């Protein structure tokens, strides 16, 4: 009996302890989360901005799309309750969630969804972000207070990626408000976990918790599931100078600094008063060299192979981003299911002797070839410096021409370059990721086989088959070398130790609604 009493007493004690510790560890609401932004917002209207910063700040807090990503990067409904695609792939029915409130307390209805889906593909709307990707949408019809149907002129296999994209996020906005403001976003109003308070240009963006938030529930799974909104307020400070961002973190003026200067990451990681995370996101930007196919040497596959075999991608990654990148030749982003390390074997590997062999077949006599680059994104310039030395080692004579970013973009689009140092925004679907292998490419690459495979991808719904075609395209890029990919860049963030709730998935895009302060 006495034993039983003791046992009972112990169980009560342990349970109380466990409960106590659970209560102690449970995240609490409150506080202002302060992070830095390397550049200011460019626009509050996500339907017409592709700028990464606009989508990363407002797209993750104020606005929400119809679809988003789970932990494994599968696209799943967010503001949609359910959806149905017709067998012929020409009719997509979207049933939207009931009771979802905009920040102005109006309920999101089918009319708002139709308005937004029309707005992002309207040719008369300057900068309509999804004009091309939703070109084959004939019409969007409201078929019920919470139902819309999209009618397509031909199937769009990557339509769900487009609806979930974070590049030109199709966030839901209230139709009535926009119509009353001449179709302009004067103050961002969305359905997201945080509502807009102020944007002090070139200084900061202030958001506060949206108390009536109701869009998402259930277990956390990537961007899906409950959005806890622990912080009362979020402040994003515009701080262009990397050194001051770190000093502000040290001083306690910031709780988080994303996009760390590569040269400082190693030192920052050694510090015990910071949590530093780095990693590869599935939509990581990729750095590469384009070549102009109108050039007498660059149009020769042997010359391009010579260039490719001369490049040591590991060394380039070290030189350009201090190793905080994944060196690869693959157009398939290493985080996507279509990728496997086996694919790397197909790519031209660093082999100067082989590079020289290929070069000998081209009749090249050491003529200077220009590499166009800019310093706006430092890795774009630094990868040139590393590559120039490697090409020189096999006898390819190059000179560097540095221009500003706007000129760089214009010359890229006009094909006014020989070798072009560039970066592409990573995309999660094979079609968008291979846009530079489409017949509309700017560097005059023409290969019917490539175009045919890509067209087949455009007509394929089956993800397995799409991935197969994706790998075929990659295989062709290894043989043809239309461009030379060097690395995919890693994301990074430094957080003060009291910020909790940050996980590796957050390197993809911070789920700030689930972060909290440890008191």
Partner 1 sequence: MKKYVIRRLVSVIPVLWLVSVLVFGLIHLVPGDPVLVILGTTAEKDQVEAMRHKLGLDRPILVQYGTWVSGLLRGDLGHSIISDEPVMEMILRRMPVTLTVAAAALLLSLSISIPTGILSALRHNTYTDYVFMGLVILAVSMPSFWLALLFILLFSVELKLLPMMGYVSIFTDFWEGLRYLVLPAMSLAFILAALVARMTRSSMLEVLREDYIVTALSKGTPRRFIVFKHALKNAFAPVLTIIGFQIGFLLGGTVVIEDIYSIPGVGRLIFTAITNRDYPVVQGCILMVTIVYVFVNAAVDLAYAYFDPRVSFDKK
Can you give the binding site for partner 1, defined by CB under 8 A? 40, 42-43, 48-51, 123-124, 126-127, 131-132, 167, 184, 200-204, 237-241, 243-244, 247-248, 250-251, 253, 376, 403-407, 409-413, 422-425, 427, 432, 435, 440, 442
Q: Which is nearer to partner 1, 136 or 351 (CB)?
A: 136
Gap between the Cα atoms of 288 and 405, Å rounded: 16
DSSP 13: H
Q: How far is the CB of 415 from partner 1 (least distance, A)?
A: 11
Report the nearest approach of partner 1 to the CB of residue 239 (Å).
5
- The whole-angstrom separation of Cα 289 and Cα 252 is 41
Q: How far is CA 271 from CA 124, 402, 457, 494, 506, in A?
A: 52, 36, 47, 10, 21
**Which C-beta is closer to partner 1: that of 215 or that of 432?**
432
Contact, 313 vs 327, CB < 8 A? yes
- 465 class by beta-carbon count within 10 Å (0-12 exposed, 13-18 middle, 19+ buried): middle
Rounded to 10°, the helix 242-251/262-270 angle is: 20
Closer to partner 1 at the Cβ: 123 or 218? 123
Gap between the Cα atoms of 505 and 73, Å rounded: 10
Q: What angle do CA 337, 331, 413 make, to 5 degrees?
A: 140
Cβ proximity to partner 1, 82 vs 153, nearer residue: 153
Which residues, in sequence order, are CB contacts of 132 under 8 Å at separation 6+? Answer: none
The C-alpha torsion from 267 through 334 and 446 to 382, rounded to 10°, is 10
Q: How far apart are CA 333 and CA 186, in angstroms?
A: 37
Provide CB contacts within 8 A for 488, sequence distance 6+. Answer: 280, 284, 285, 286, 287, 325, 326, 328, 333, 334, 426
- Output the smallest distance, CB 299 to partner 1, in A: 21
Q: Smallest gap, in angstroms, from Cβ of residue 471 to partner 1?
A: 23
292-324 per-residue burial string, b: 16 or more CB within 10 A, e: under 16: bbebebbebebbbbbbbbbbbbebbbbbbbbbb
Instruction: Find the shortest distance in angstroms from Cβ 440 to partner 1.
Output: 6
Q: Determine the Cα–Cα distance for residues 481 and 469; give it in Å rounded to an integer.
A: 17
Q: What does the alpha-carbon distance between residue 371 and residue 391 come to, in Å, rounded to a whole number?
A: 11
Report, in Å, the least distance between residue 72 CB and partner 1: 25
Query: In terms of CB distance, is 312 or 418 closer to partner 1?
Result: 418
Q: For partner 1, which is the closer residue by CB, 322 or 412?
A: 412
In the bound state with partner 1, the residue whose beta carbon lies nearer, of 375 and 479, is 375
What is the distance between the alpha carbons of residues 210 and 44, in angstroms, rounded to a whole number? 18
CB of 359 to partner 1, least distance (A): 30
Nearer to partner 1, 40 or 112 (CB): 40
285/352 with CB nearer partner 1: 285
Minimum distance, C-beta of residue 351 to partner 1, in the bound complex (Å): 30
Q: What are phi and psi of 311, to 5 degrees?
A: -90, 125
204 or 295: whose CB is closer to partner 1? 204
Q: Which is nearer to partner 1, 124 or 519 (CB)?
A: 124
Measured distance CA(231)–CA(208) in Å, rounded: 8
Residue with tokens 């009972």: 8
In the complex, minimum distance from the CB of residue 50 to partner 1, in angstroms, rounded to a whole number: 4
CA 133 to CA 386: how far, in whole Å?
36
Q: How far is the CB of 256 from partner 1 (least distance, A)?
A: 15
Is the separation of the CB atoms in 50 and 170 below 8 Å?
A: no
What is the nearest approach in angstroms of partner 1 to the Cβ of residue 356? Answer: 33
Please identify, using beta-carbon distances, which residue of 125 and 322 lies nearer to partner 1. Answer: 125
Q: Are 57 and 205 in contact (CB under 8 A)?
A: yes
**Measured from the CB of residue 205, what is the shortest distance to partner 1 in angstroms?**
12
Minimum CB–partner distance for residue 246 and partner 1 (Å): 10
Closer to partner 1 by Cβ: residue 106 or 403: 403
How deeply is 342 buried, as exposed, middle or buried, from its count of CB atoms within 10 A (0-12, 13-18, 19+)? exposed
């Amino acid at each position: 009996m006495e034993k039983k009493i003791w046992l009972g007493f112990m169980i009560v004690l342990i349970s109380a302890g466990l409960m106590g510790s659970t209560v102690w560890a449970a995240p609490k609401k409150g506080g202002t989360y302060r992070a830095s932004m390397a550049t200011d917002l460019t626009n509050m209207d996500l339907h017409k901005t592709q700028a990464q910063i606009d989508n990363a700040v407002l797209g993750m807090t104020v606005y929400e799309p119809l679809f988003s990503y789970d932990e494994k990067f599968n696209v799943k409904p967010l503001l949609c309750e359910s959806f149905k695609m017709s067998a012929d792939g020409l009719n997509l029915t979207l049933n939207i969630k009931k009771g979802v409130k905009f920040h102005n307390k109006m309920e999101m209805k089918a009319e708002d969804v139709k308005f937004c889906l029309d707005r992002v593909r309207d040719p008369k709307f300057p900068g309509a972000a999804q004009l091309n990707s939703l070109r084959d949408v004939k019409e969007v019809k409201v078929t019920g207070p919470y139902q819309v149907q999209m009618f397509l002129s031909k199937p769009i296999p990557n339509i769900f990626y487009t609806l979930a994209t974070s590049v030109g996020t199709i966030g839901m906005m209230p139709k009535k408000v926009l119509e009353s403001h001449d179709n302009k976003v004067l103050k961002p109003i969305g359905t997201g976990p945080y509502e807009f308070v102020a944007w002090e240009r070139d200084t900061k963006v202030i958001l506060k918790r949206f108390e009536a938030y109701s869009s998402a529930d259930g277990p956390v799974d990537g961007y899906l599931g409950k959005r806890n909104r622990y912080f009362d307020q979020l402040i994003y400070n515009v701080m262009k100078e990397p050194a001051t961002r770190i000093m502000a973190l040290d001083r306690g003026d910031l709780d988080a600094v994303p996009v760390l200067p590569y040269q400082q990451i190693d030192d920052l990681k050694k510090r015990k008063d910071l949590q530093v995370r780095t990693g590869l996101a599935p939509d990581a930007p990729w750095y590469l060299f384009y070549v102009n196919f109108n050039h007498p040497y660059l149009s020769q596959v042997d010359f391009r192979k010579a260039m490719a075999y001369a490049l040591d991608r590991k060394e380039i990654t070290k030189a350009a981003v201090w190793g905080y990148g994944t060196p690869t030749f693959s157009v398939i982003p290493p985080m996507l299911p279509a990728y496997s390390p086996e694919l790397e074997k197909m790519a031209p590997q660093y082999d100067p002797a082989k590079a020289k062999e290929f070069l000998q077949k081209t009749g090249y006599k050491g003529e200077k070839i220009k590499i166009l680059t800019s310093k706006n994104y430092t890795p774009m310039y630094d990868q040139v410096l590393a590559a120039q030395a490697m090409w020189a080692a096999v006898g390819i004579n190059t000179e560097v021409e540095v221009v500003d970013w706007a000129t760089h973009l214009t010359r890229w689009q006009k094909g006014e370059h020989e070798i072009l140092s560039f970066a592409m925004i990573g995309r999660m679907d094979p079609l968008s990721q291979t846009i530079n292998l489409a017949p509309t490419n700017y560097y005059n690459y023409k290969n019917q086989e490539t175009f045919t495979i890509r067209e087949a991808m455009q007509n394929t719904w089956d993800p397995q088959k799409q991935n197969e075609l994706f790998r075929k395209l990659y295989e062709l890029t290894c043989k043809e070398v239309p461009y030379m990919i060097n690395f995919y860049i890693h994301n990074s963030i430094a957080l003060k130790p009291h910020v909790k709730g940050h996980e590796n998935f957050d390197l993809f895009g911070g789920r700030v609604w689930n972060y909290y302060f440890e008191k």
